[in-house]
Amino acid sequence: MTDQEKLVSISGLEAYPQMSIGITILLLISLVSRYVKSLFGKFLLSAVAFLVLATLAPVWFESSAGSLSILGPQIGAITGVSDWEAQASLITQGVYNHLASDLFVIALIFCFVSTLLRVWQIQGAATKVSLTRIDQLPKW
C-alpha cells in the first residue's frame, strides 16, 4: 500500500478518550463528597463511582493484553485500509509500553479506592457553640 515506512504512535488518552471523562467524574465525586452528609447521598456517589469503574474496566483488559489494535484508526488514516486483519499485515514492528499501561491501571484503581474512602469518610463531631442565652439555660 505504501512504499515508505512510517512511525505510528498513540498515547493512552488518544486511544481511550473515555478515560479522561472517567477520571474527571471521579474527581468531581471526590469534591462533592465533602458536602454530602446523608447515607443515601453517599450510597449514590459510591454507585456512580462504581459505574465509572465498570465503564473503564474493558480498557484495562485491552491494555493488559497489549493489543496494537488501538492503532487501527491511525493506520487506516495513513494507508486507507480499514480492516484490522489487513492492517496487522502492514505492521512490521510493534512496541507496546506495558509499564506505562500497568502503572496507569494501578493509578486508576488508586483513584477509585481513594474516592470511595473520601465518600465514606466519617466527619468529626462538630462542637456546639452556645451563642444565645436560651442555649445556656439548665436542662431540667
pLDDT value at residue 136: 66
pLDDT of residue 1: 45
| 17 has pLDDT over 50 | yes
CB environment 62-96: b (16+ within 10 A), e (fewer): ebeeeebebbbebbeeeeebeeeeebeeeeeeeee
Task: Write the DSSP symbol of residue 112.
Answer: H
Q: What is the DSSP letter of 33?
A: T
pLDDT digits (tens, 9 = 90+) for 57-115: 887 777 777 777 777 777 777 777 778 788 777 777 777 788 888 888 888 889 899 99
Where is pLDDT greater, at 33 or 64? 33
Query: Span 27-56, mean pLDDT?
Result: 91
Instruction: Give this prediction's pTM.
Output: 0.68
List the chain domain ranges.
12-123
Please tell me the predicted confidence (pLDDT) of residue 29: 92
